[in-house]
A and B are shown apart, each in its own frame.
Chain A
Amino acid sequence: KAGVTQTPRYLIKTRGQQVTLSCSPISGHRSVSWYQQTPGQGLQFLFEYFSETQRNKGNFPGRFSGRQFSNSRSEMNVSTLELGDSALYLCASSLKPEQPQHFGDGTRLSIL
């Protein structure tokens, strides 16, 4: 069974640009969550989606947005990029929200 797939793996952008990250969950998983990981802050919760509905949102500015499609694939968008947005962005999927999550390898975003 294929795991969670995130694309791209690495991304370099400049301040002010926008970026879209993609996540394909494990087949059959309908819940997808996104996290930002930085050395100082650890894993910070961004969003949680289930059946195309956003169930939860973390404490991030409105520049961070996301969505989930009918095939459970999810995208995350960050607009007006700032230097502080440099991080590893992780996607995780589970059968249902309460079930254990399985993580993808992440997208490492660097802002210059």
Chain B
Amino acid sequence: GQNIDQPTEMTATEGAIVQINCTYQTSGFNGLFWYQQHAGEAPTFLSYNVLDGLEEKGRFSSFLSRSKGYSYLLLKELQMKDSASYLCASRGGATNKLIFGTGTLLAVQP
């Protein structure tokens, strides 16, 4: 089976750094994805990890530890426009499905 846990809400200050954690239990693990979703909009792809380590993309980085079933999304130099829901998703299981967590709602304050 597959199960994903991430915090429901987080608050951070403009200009700061925030780390959003995600733990997963996925047999036959085949990749961890992060998406950003602004209110009333569709999710947009942020990053993808299939091997252990850190992937950096500008202000956004994502880390994966397959042995620990753990990933995090790191957002640097936070901007007000980063206020959104961040969705963690893992692919795997007997049928290689992509399953999403319920998302972490990030509020960036001035």
| Chain B 6-41: CB-based contact to A (< 8 A → 1; otherwise 0) | 000000000000000000000000110101000001
Compute how far the CA of A104 lies from the CA of B44 in the bound complex, rounded to whole angstroms.
Answer: 9
Q: How far is the CB of B41 from chain A (nearest CB, A)?
A: 7
Q: Among residues 87 to 107 in chain B, which have CB atoms less than 8 Å away from a CB atom of chain A?
A: 87, 89, 91, 95-103
Give the residues in chain A near B89, CB-CB below 8 Å. 43
Q: Which A residues between 80 and 111 are near B, CB-CB below 8 angstroms?
A: 90, 97-98, 100-106
Residue A55 is within 8 A (CB to CB) of chain B in the complex:
yes
Once bound together, how far apart are the Cα atoms of A5 and B102, in whole Å? Answer: 24
Known: A90-B43, A106-B42. A33 touches B100 (CB 8 A): no
**Contact indicator B43/A103 (Cβ below 8 Å):** yes
Contact residues of B: prevailing secondary structure: strand
Chain A residues closer than 8 Å to B42, beta-carbon distance: 90, 103-106
Number of residues on chain A facing chain B (CB within 8 A): 20
**When the two chains form their complex, are residues B31 and A43 in contact, meaning their CB atoms are under 8 A apart?**
no
What's the Cα separation between A25 and B30 when bound, in Å? Answer: 23
Pair B96/A98 contact, Cβ less than 8 Å: yes
How many chain B residues touch A (Cβ–Cβ < 8 Å)?
22
B70 contact set on A, CB distance < 8 A: none
A105 to B44, CA, bound (A): 10
Please determine whether B99 and A45 come into contact, CB atoms closer than 8 angstroms: yes
- Check B103–A33 contact: CB distance below 8 A: no
Can you list, as one digit per residue, whether each of A28-54 has a CB less than 8 Å from chain B (1) or not (0)?
A: 000001010000011101001000000
Contact (Cβ within 8 A) A43 B97? no
**A24, chain B: closest CB distance, angstroms:** 14
Across the A-B interface, the 7 shortest Cβ-Cβ residue pairs: A42-B102, A43-B100, A103-B42, A100-B45, A56-B97, A56-B95, A103-B43
